[in-house]
Chains A and B, each alone.
Chain A
């Protein structure tokens, strides 16, 4: 690594802002898309206490990617992402199945599925790497992501899916919000909570799959959890929290891509996560609901009556 702040790094910073390299633009844009879509979908996971489901789904994409590679015989993005999507969704369903059987604990269900799916993926990965086609696979980059390797076509797909998912969350905001905060109440007013649940799992799988090219399977959960958690230190209201989370995600993506451009050897995924972690630390300390903010607000109970908060009452009332 070059020394932390050298002429070379300054030159690279200047070079970055000329936006003359396609790969840098692709990396920047894809990281920002990832930041936005993960934050918005992840917010509902965090609120439902399903944060680490993203971790399991992320790890679970690996066997799907490998299976698709074996099946198609080439590193064709569409096929790999479809494989990833299928195995991620199956894993999310299995977590639900195991958690519902009252004998197993939900956290253990996540752990079992995460490690077993990843184990299957590792077996397939090592099998592929021992085979003659190994040279052209480069599947390893799925583990930590490679934002600089995102092509313009992949960027369009990523952007399209991200936009569609965020639009979907906006359109179905009310049923999503009610079903998240009060499932019983949601059912009583006719919200199809089961459909909402599976829809969310589908959205999660899609968000994870489009993100792994940039951040990798190991760290995608960070982008799902950290921006929404930071946003919850800034506001109590769900719509605002979603917007804040989106901004934090986008800013983490942009800064992460920039930082990884400056210093060789710093991969984009980990850089994004560190930046998001810094935003979280700032929100934790200085947010209106953070450590310092709380010193100045007396009554900050989670559900103060009369105060507009992200509870079923607000989520359902116009």
Chain B
């Protein structure tokens, strides 16, 4: 049993590189995800992660390079553009915000797929890598990018913690006490786009979405206060990336997928057994209440 845990580390440096990459991706994504969740914007994670693909492609077409800063800038630009587009559409009285998200990100994503398949043959952008990531063969470049972006995002969240939390819980109050709510919104969008792209090579688009949505949803089942919620989300993200790494090695399957599945199992456990908000706790409360009422 212990062999199964220790042995992979002796097979080469890809094990610790993979662990480093997946945890470096997991922490900022989980933190940003909590704020998206509180703002009921979880699906913007979905949108921005898909939109990052055309961001990378366009940045490559314009500059001919796939350097870290170029990719991050491209993703940030296209991410912001799509956030503006979504906002603009959702303002129309006959477009709901979820439809606006769906329209914008699918069109952007389709454009990215077409550009990728027709014009960028020599760019070595691997579609399946962008979608699913490749933790176990992560490049130095991607590792450096994560190493720069992850601490920066966590630091920014810490610095702007008050603005972020007050505008997430009560935008009206935030506006009235002078918090630049719009700026915070687009800042958050930029951070999400940049972090998503930085984590692409490690975990891919789909896992980036999962890493934003699932830890936050789990944390909300376990915690009632923002600081505990953030801790729970980061804990969930770390546990699922470490356990998921091992699972993927044991069963010889996609690491990104395994990390999501472990995260999903943790969510299901929390959904059922969370102390206050779990399904079982709710049923027990209902039962005891009935007993008290009848007795």
Contact = CB atoms under 8 A, between A and B. Distances in A.
Whether chains A and B associate is: yes
Interface of A: 1, 46, 49-52, 54-55, 59, 98, 101, 103-105, 107-112, 114-116, 118-127, 130, 140, 143-144, 218-219, 221-222, 224-226, 229, 232-233, 263-267, 269-271, 273-274, 276-277, 280, 284, 289, 302
Main SS of the interface on chain A?
Answer: helix
Interface of B: 37, 40-43, 45-46, 89, 92-96, 98-99, 101-103, 106-107, 109-111, 113-114, 117-119, 128, 131-132, 206-207, 209-210, 212-214, 216-217, 220-221, 248, 251-254, 256-261, 263-264, 267, 271, 277, 279, 282
Given A108-B217, A112-B214, A116-B214, A127 B95 contact: no
B206 A111 contact: no
Instruction: Name the residue in B41, B113, B214, B263 with the highest tally of chain A Cβ atoms < 10 Å from its Cβ.
Output: B113
Main SS of the interface on chain B?
Answer: helix
26 contacts: A46-B99, A50-B98, A52-B46, A101-B271, A101-B282, A107-B43, A110-B42, A111-B45, A111-B212, A112-B213, A112-B267, A114-B46, A116-B261, A119-B257, A120-B260, A122-B206, A123-B248, A123-B254, A124-B253, A221-B102, A226-B103, A264-B118, A265-B118, A277-B103, A284-B89, A302-B93
A98 to B, nearest CB: 7
Nearest to A119: B260
Contacts of B217: 104-105, 108-109, 111-112
Contacts, number: 192
Instruction: Name the residue in B40, B213, B248 with the highest tally of chain A Cβ atoms < 10 Å from its Cβ.
Output: B213
Contact of A229 (B45, B99, B128): B99
Instruction: Name the residue in B92, B111, B248 with the highest tally of chain A Cβ atoms < 10 Å from its Cβ.
Output: B92
B121 to A, nearest CB: 9
B279 A115 contact: no
B209 to A, nearest CB: 5
B110 A219 contact: yes
A221 B220 CA distance: 28
Contacts of B37: 105, 108
Contacts of A115: 206-207, 209-210, 213-214, 260, 264
